[in-house]
Amino acid sequence: MRKFVGLALVAGALMVSACNTVKGAGRDVSSAGDAVAGAAEGAK
């Protein structure tokens, strides 16, 4: 759970800092979703 929270914080920080355009925001959200999904698979 602690790893998931840390990953979510990092993903959120990357999204905020890298969102210059709507297209970039979409990529960031997709990337964050992939990271969360990977963390969830690893926690099984």
- Amino acid 13: pLDDT: 78
Residue indicated by tokens 């999204």 = 15
Q: Where are the alpha helices (DSSP H) in the chain?
A: 2-18, 22-43
User: What is the C-alpha separation between 44 and 27, in angstroms, rounded?
Assistant: 26
- Amino acid 31: pLDDT: 84
For residue 8, is pLDDT > 60? Answer: yes
For residue 36, is pLDDT > 60? Answer: yes
pLDDT averaged over every residue in the chain: 77
pLDDT band at 23 (very low <50, low <70, confident <90, very high): low
**Cβ atoms within 10 Å of 29's Cβ, excluding its own:** 13
And the tokens for 26? 């979409």
